[in-house]
Structure 1
């Protein structure tokens, strides 16, 4: 469940980044170096729906901090950044947790998109509201 929640947050971030235009060639070591999010680039509240129907709410602030909640209970937190390769990478505040990175698909007519992590797990993401 923690992995699912983290990936939902990643998906949210990746979809808003626009960093794909600056993607580095595959295999370039610099491609995995994350940069701090630009102000307002991804700040806001997102809902990610997993294949099992679980809905994860991810809130990202202007400084790149995120909080994940499920059914009103906090399930994760940390920082998020867009890597030079265009993936959105979530760095959990949980000790020893590895970053989890997501790649966003194209936006649908309703504004939602599918985000997929490196393990092939996907979530459907939609922005609920911009940052206050």
Structure 2
């Protein structure tokens, strides 16, 4: 089974009620801020399980403080890596390489659920996953 970066985070239909915010330092629009809800979960460093609608865990992603990430298979082997950024709930993952499956993908995150999980939906709406923060 090949694991693809499931740019997690995962990202939902949170367009309603969004405003185009600006960066206070430069007064320029924050990229994607018009799409992400103010309630969207902003990802940070940590380990996340990527789950399908039936609860199947597809992979884990380790998001690092230095702006990189690693995707792991079920045995903990690294199967992908690249860089990431999250701007107010719009999470973008750019896998290393330039192949057709290695292009940056952005995801809109929902607000956190009571159990700490959130939904991440690809910005084109084609994929959606439940993201669950997990311990190391």
Same fold (TM over 0.5): yes
- The TM-score bracket by the shorter chain reads 0.5 to 0.7
Any idea what the Cα deviations from partners look like across 1:79-107, whole Å, max 9, x if unmatched? 10124x74100010022322100101121
Instruction: Provide TM-score, normalisation by structure 1.
Output: 0.67
CA distance in 2, matches of 1:119, 1:22: 19
Which residue of 2 is the match for residue 11 of structure 1? 9
> Does 2:119 align with 1:114?
yes
| Structure with the bigger percentage of helix | 1
After the TM superposition, which segments of 4 or more aligned residues of structure 1 sit over 3 Å from their partners?
Answer: 21-25
Q: CA deviation at 1:31?
A: 1.9
Structure 2 unpaired stretches of 5+: 12-17, 23-27, 33-42
Does structure 1 retain, via aligned residues, the 8 Å contact 2:84–2:92? yes
Q: CA deviation at 1:129?
A: 2.5
Any idea what the Cα deviations from partners look like across 1:30-72, whole Å, max 9, x if unmatched? 625xxxxxxxx71111111024624311111110110001212
Structure 1 unpaired stretches of 5+: 15-20, 33-40
Which residue of 1 is the match for residue 82 of structure 2? 78
CA distance in 2, matches of 1:129, 1:62: 15
C-alpha RMSD of matched pairs (Å): 3.4
Which residue of 2 is the match for residue 125 of structure 1? 131
Any idea what the Cα deviations from partners look like across 1:2-48, whole Å, max 9, x if unmatched? 6x7322x4306x7xxxxxx98548xx98625xxxxxxxx71111111
Number of aligned residue pairs: 112
